Structure 1
């Protein structure tokens, strides 16, 4: 099985008030994608397992902010119009797969966000800095993940899961955020979970 409605939202960040809402682990980032006002839900906190769940259900976040990146598929992304694009989970196209794209991220590059981290977390702060720069520069932004009516979520690795999320596993369906600064360099933000396996098939 795999996640449903995989795709990418292309547009511009329109707000950097990254408040963690509802006591949950996400911030909600507003993005204008063509004529649509959408939201990207992004994990910025590690979560304890719910009562009765095993430690394998904990959501310990791993993240990597890749500055100075030149994506291998940059020309394909830049050719997209602003808006919402559904993607097939195939190699050689736009779909993201962290296990198979070492130019983007490796597990060794990831930083662990421990349970009980202070709020705002390191990831929250870094994300806030990138959002501010994106607004100031008008950077074109690409947010990959699971599409829904109001935007995009599951903006993280979507493979290597066990337990209750094992049904989400699939290749070439990872979420990630890319920012094109217009000077030939990009920044990517990659998020995964400590419990996820890497180098999956």
Structure 2
């Protein structure tokens, strides 16, 4: 039974949402302001949070920022439930890390359907995360950061591992050097293309028993080609 945290200061809406969600089998815990919402999110670890933006003490935008900045709450799905249909509110809320936005007045059935969709998405991600990637004689465990090739451990650096996961999960896709640097090293990285090329060279060497699976695309970057 999924646990839903509802952060809403309007009591009538709070009661409406709770009654309808409990009919659908959810457990609902309530918070009347942003401060209480953050406290309950940390303490009770809900499966999903429904969040109003115009809250006392701490507004919804700041609640999202705080939830996404903390390791124990950063992955909890958030659905904004807000009186405003303002496009900028939607954009800001989603860019801060909310997963969905529903304007008031709303259909309780639609809210319930959106919650179920988000929870299914979380489950799919969890299933994928727990399952090792397999391709030919290669097996990659994303949880433990380990790789085996023909049942023998493959000693990769963290960046080599992250590059390999990206390539194996996106075969035939051509990645520019700029994209790979941003994706693996981050937006603020000062890493140059030379460092990336060195990592690719080392990774190719470690995968040489698979054949030339990492192809260079002249003037662009790299692609992973399945040759098994």
Shared fold per TM-score greater than 0.5 = no
Which entry has the higher C-alpha Rg, 1 or 2?
A: 2
Higher relative contact order (CA 8 A, sep 6+): 1
When normalised by structure 1's length, the TM-score is 0.24
Larger fraction in strand: 1
When normalised by structure 2's length, the TM-score is 0.21
Larger fraction in helix: 2
